[in-house]
């Protein structure tokens, strides 16, 4: 068996090694696929918004649907106050979606299957939302750690639990996306390996599994991008509309 | 006679198409369930991990090796269950 199921997650540099003051800044396959996703997004949106027809072309339809989808999600979960954050949520969702989908192509690399990428997203969101909460409410923002209607005796314990629960947000957000992507791609590779090793006679069963799993993986890729965006909206809502 | 036969085959095709659609829907539902299961699991695990890490750091600070890590592990578990509870509540609201 030549195929190692974890080999697909290996990051290697493309072109020369670049090192600036001890920091490795080489162009890797991860950066390549991030760039590809970015270029694809820009191409789709430019194509979709180039000419505004009454009867839309496919690209225009797709970009309009994306816009409506995110706009509805934000207004449903975070209310009108979150409208200024539309560009952020939109780019976040579309970037994760495209990274996941580009990763579904054979021979490609899934950027979101690395914890460092997803954790960076999540920590940025976490810090941003916390700062936003303090800007909007001042020190009253600390009230989210003190739920109303709790007896004074229990308050210290509840507060500690609330703080831990608040701090666990970026971890659960990032681990979910990373674990889903990595588990799915490993599973696909393992079943693919079975097809080869079982040969012409027994290989058909894992092959059908592989096909079914690919469909499921595409669904998961979309779903995880959606979950990531909607949880960002929920955290934004907590910061904007303080109530507990 | 030919008309009836024609109708029969058309009915058959339509029925198989409907079945296929139902199967696809089932698959979609399965994906949503899988997503929800992952969501709840990661909520629980993340809070426990964060609690334990906080306990570990505080233990190193105050030199009270095993005590705080145990206490904060329990706090983390409590926070995790609170998280799961809240997430499940949100899911229920979404379904209604």
Calculate how close chain A gets to B8, using CA atoms only, in Å.
Answer: 31
pLDDT: which is higher, B33 or A150: A150
The pLDDT score that the predictor gives to residue A119 is 93
| Contact between A82 and A74 (Cβ < 8 Å) | yes
Is residue A33 included in any domain, yes or no? yes
Nearest CB partner across the interface for A219, out of B28, B54, B76: B28
Is residue A180 included in any domain, yes or no? yes
The pLDDT score that the predictor gives to residue B77 is 93
- Structural domains of chain B, count: 1
Residue A99 burial class via C-beta count within 10 angstroms: exposed 0-12, middle 13-18, buried 19 and up = buried
Query: What does the pLDDT look like over A79-115, one tens digit per residue?
Result: 888 888 999 999 999 999 999 999 888 888 888 988 9
Length of chain B, in residues: 96
The pLDDT score that the predictor gives to residue A96 is 93
Is residue A85 included in any domain, yes or no? yes
Residue B4 burial class via C-beta count within 10 angstroms: exposed 0-12, middle 13-18, buried 19 and up = exposed
Judged by a CB distance cut-off of 8 A, whether residue A131 touches chain B is no
- Structural domains of chain A, count: 1
- pLDDT interval class at B20 (50, 70, 90): confident
Q: Which chain B residues have a beta carbon less than 8 Å from that of A164?
A: 47, 50-51, 54, 72, 75-76, 79
**Structural domain span for residue B63:** 2-95
Is residue A21 included in any domain, yes or no? yes
Judged by a CB distance cut-off of 8 A, whether residue B69 touches chain A is no
Does the beta-carbon distance from B47 to A157 stay under 8 Å? Answer: no
- pLDDT interval class at B26 (50, 70, 90): low
Residue B79 has pLDDT above 80, yes or no: yes
CA A177, CA A215: separation in Å to the nearest integer?
18
For helices A58-77 and A29-50, the axis angle rounded to 10 degrees is 100
Q: Which chain A residues have a beta carbon less than 8 Å from that of B78?
A: 161
- pLDDT interval class at A1 (50, 70, 90): very low
Taking residues A198-225, report their average pLDDT: 88
Residue B27 has pLDDT above 70, yes or no: no
Least confident of A55-69, B30-44, B51-65: B30-44
> What is the average pLDDT value for chain A, to the nearest integer?
87
- pLDDT interval class at B31 (50, 70, 90): low
Give the end-to-end CA distance of chain A in Å, rounded to a whole number: 55
Classify residue A22 by its DSSP letter: T
Taking residues A211-233, report their average pLDDT: 90
pLDDT: which is higher, A116 or A2: A116
Does the beta-carbon distance from B78 to A175 stay under 8 Å? Answer: no
**Structural domain span for residue A62:** 7-240
The pLDDT score that the predictor gives to residue A122 is 94
The pLDDT score that the predictor gives to residue A145 is 85
- pLDDT interval class at A243 (50, 70, 90): low
Nearest CB partner across the interface for A165, out of B30, B34, B79: B79
Query: What does the pLDDT look like over A28-77, one tens digit per residue?
Result: 888 899 999 999 999 999 988 887 777 778 888 888 899 999 999 898 88
pTM value is 0.81
Is residue A1 included in any domain, yes or no? no
CA A96, CA A226: separation in Å to the nearest integer?
9
| Contact between A231 and A96 (Cβ < 8 Å) | no
Taking residues A182-203, report their average pLDDT: 87
The pLDDT score that the predictor gives to residue B52 is 92
Structure tokens given for A59: 């690209």
């Amino acid at each position: 068996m030549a195929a190692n199921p974890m080999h697909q997650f290996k990051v290697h540099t493309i072109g020369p090694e670049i090192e600036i003051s001890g920091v490795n800044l080489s162009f890797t396959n991860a950066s390549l696929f991030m760039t590809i996703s970015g270029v694809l997004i820009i191409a789709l949106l430019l194509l979709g918004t180039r000419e505004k027809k009454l009867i839309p072309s496919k690209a225009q339809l797709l970009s309009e649907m994306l816009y409506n989808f995110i706009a509805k999600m934000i207004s449903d979960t975070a209310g009108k106050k979150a409208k200024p954050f539309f560009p952020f949520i939109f780019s976040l969702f579309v970037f994760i979606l495209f990274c996941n989908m580009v990763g579904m192509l054979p021979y490609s690399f899934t950027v979101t299957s690395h914890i460092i990428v997803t954790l960076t997203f999540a920590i940025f969101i976490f810090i941003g939302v916390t700062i936003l909460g303090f800007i909007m409410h001042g020190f009253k923002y600390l009230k989210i750690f003190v739920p109303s209607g709790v007896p004074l005796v229990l308050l210290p314990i509840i507060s500690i639990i609330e703080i831990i629960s608040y701090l666990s947000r970026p971890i659960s957000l990032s681990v979910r996306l990373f674990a889903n992507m990595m588990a799915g791609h490993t599973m696909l590779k393992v079943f693919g390996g079975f097809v080869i090793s079982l040969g012409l006679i027994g290989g058909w069963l894992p092959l059908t599994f592989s096909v079914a799993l690919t469909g499921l993986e595409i669904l998961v890729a979309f779903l995880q991008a959606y979950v990531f965006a909607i949880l960002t909206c929920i955290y934004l809502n907590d910061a904007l509309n303080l109530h507990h | 006679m030919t008309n009836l036969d024609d109708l029969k085959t058309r009915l058959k095709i339509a029925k198989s198409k409907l079945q296929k659609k139902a199967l696809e829907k089932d698959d979609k539902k399965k994906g949503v369930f899988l997503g929800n299961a992952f969501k709840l699991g990661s909520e629980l695990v993340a809070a426990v991990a964060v609690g334990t890490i906080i306990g570990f750091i505080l233990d190193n600070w105050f030199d009270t090796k095993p005590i705080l890590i145990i206490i904060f592990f329990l706090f983390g578990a409590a926070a995790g269950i609170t998280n799961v509870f809240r997430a499940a509540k949100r899911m229920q609201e979404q379904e209604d």
